[in-house]
Amino acid sequence: MGACHDELAATFPDYRFYAIKEKWGVLAFQARPRAGEAAAEEADRLNEITEKYRAASEVVCEWCGRCGSLRMDARVERTLCDACANDMTTMRFPKQTPIV
């Protein structure tokens, strides 16, 4: 579990992790406070958290949201956890499921 997930889960016990856009080397972390509508202040708080971690995206896997590091050894720079980085040596997409 990544620190970003831990902080989001602590702030929003029911938050939803939606999708990670493919942006090489940069985390694009999309989450919502909960399924369905969220109050504006909740969305703002969540954006604060995800922005903070996006700025330090080397610590969060861009595929699954777990703890990772920037991989400089691949053809393209990606921020991946060990499991995803290992998967991507043999397949196009990691088989890890994004943390929810």
Show the beta-strand stretches assigned E in the chain. Answer: 16-20, 29-32, 69-71, 78-80
Note whether 15 and 9 are within 8 A (CB). Answer: yes
**96 makes contact with Zn ion (CB under 5 A):** yes
Residues 74-93 that bind Zn ion (CB under 5 A): 81, 84
DSSP 60: B
Shortest Cβ 88–Zn ion spacing (Å): 9
- Closer residue to Zn ion (CB): 40 or 91: 91
Contact 37, 58 (CB under 8 A): no
- Which stretch, 3-11, 22-30, 54-62, 69-77, contacts Zn ion (CB under 5 A)? 54-62
Residues in contact with Zn ion by CB under 5 A are: 61, 63-64, 66, 81, 84, 96
